[in-house]
């Protein structure tokens, strides 16, 4: 008996005798006597895991990025509204299958950095907006920056410090749902003027006596 092993270390045996049985088998049946024993088992490839870092502005828009995984460049589309810690699967981009087996999958976990001025909770956004005292008292119009562009706001007269305003549909896009957005919540921080002139101080003094 002669012992040998295939690629996966599986043991099999082959019998040898004075007569060449394999030649006889091949002449009778048109194939090798060991043909049925040499089949290799197919194995699925290994799954890969990767982490991709984004900032909040990146996560607001659907966009494409190219990743390098095991020396291969993979171009993926990142849907708007992706959540921090969310994992998506890219089928067939893991390790190669063995003996013709299917490839594994690639799992990408997203890490979204916080924004210095805008807080995200689900699909809603929260920001603080500085408001000059004069605008707070008399009312007026201000412009703020959002991920979707500049937005004009009308400030009501006698707006109090800490007042909140909701802008419906101006929040974060809902993941894989076209045309749907959360809301934007604005908190006003009324700013007290500094470096007042003598005339301005006099006017405030008169107001305090009225």
Annotated domain spans of the chain: 2-37, 48-112, 118-209
| pLDDT greater than 60 at residue 196 | yes
Neighbours of 32 (CB within 10 A): 13
Backbone angles phi, psi at 57, to 5 degrees: -65, -35
Q: Give the residue from 14, 9, 3 showing the smallest Cα distance to 36.
A: 14
Site of tokens 């799954």: 47
Q: Which CATH architecture has domain 118-209?
A: Sandwich (2.60)
| Rounded Cα distance, 113 and 94, in Å | 26
| Rounded Cα distance, 68 and 158, in Å | 56
Please say whether the dihedral angle defined by the alpha carbons of residues 156, 160, 161 and 163, taken in this order, is positive or negative. negative
| pLDDT greater than 90 at residue 194 | no
Is-same-fold flag (48-112; 118-209)? yes
How would residue 3 be classed by pLDDT, with cut points 50, 70 and 90? very low
pLDDT in tens, 35-92: 555 578 999 999 999 999 999 999 999 999 998 888 889 999 999 999 999 999 999 9
Provide the CB-side half-sphere exposure for 92 (13 A, CA).
2
Distances (CA, A) of 45 to 38, 76, 91, 103: 21, 20, 11, 5
Looking at domain 48-112, its CATH class is mainly beta
pLDDT in tens, 157-186: 999 999 999 999 999 999 999 999 999 999
pLDDT in tens, 110-167: 999 999 999 999 999 999 999 999 999 999 999 999 998 999 999 999 999 999 999 9
| pLDDT greater than 50 at residue 25 | no
């Amino acid at each position: 008996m002669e012992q040998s092993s295939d690629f996966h270390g599986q043991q099999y045996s082959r019998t040898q005798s004075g007569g060449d049985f394999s030649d006889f088998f091949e002449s009778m049946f048109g194939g090798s006597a060991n043909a049925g024993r040499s089949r290799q088992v197919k194995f699925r490839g290994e799954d890969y895991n990767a982490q991709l870092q984004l900032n909040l502005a990146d996560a607001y828009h659907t966009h494409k990025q190219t990743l390098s995984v095991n020396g291969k460049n993979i171009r993926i589309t990142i849907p708007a509204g992706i959540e921090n810690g969310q994992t998506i699967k890219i089928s067939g981009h893991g390790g190669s299958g063995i003996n013709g087996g299917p490839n594994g999958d690639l799992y990408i976990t997203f890490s979204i950095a916080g924004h210095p001025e805008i807080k995200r909770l689900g699909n809603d956004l929260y920001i603080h907006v500085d408001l000059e005292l004069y605008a707070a008292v008399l009312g007026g119009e201000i412009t703020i920056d959002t991920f979707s562009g500049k937005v004009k706001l009308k400030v009501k007269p006698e707006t109090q410090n800490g007042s909140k305003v909701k802008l419906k549909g101006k929040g974060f896009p809902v993941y894989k749902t076209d045309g749907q957005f959360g809301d934007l919540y604005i908190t006003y921080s009324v700013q007290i003027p500094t470096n007042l002139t003598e005339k301005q101080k006099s006017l405030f003094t008169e107001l305090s006596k009225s």
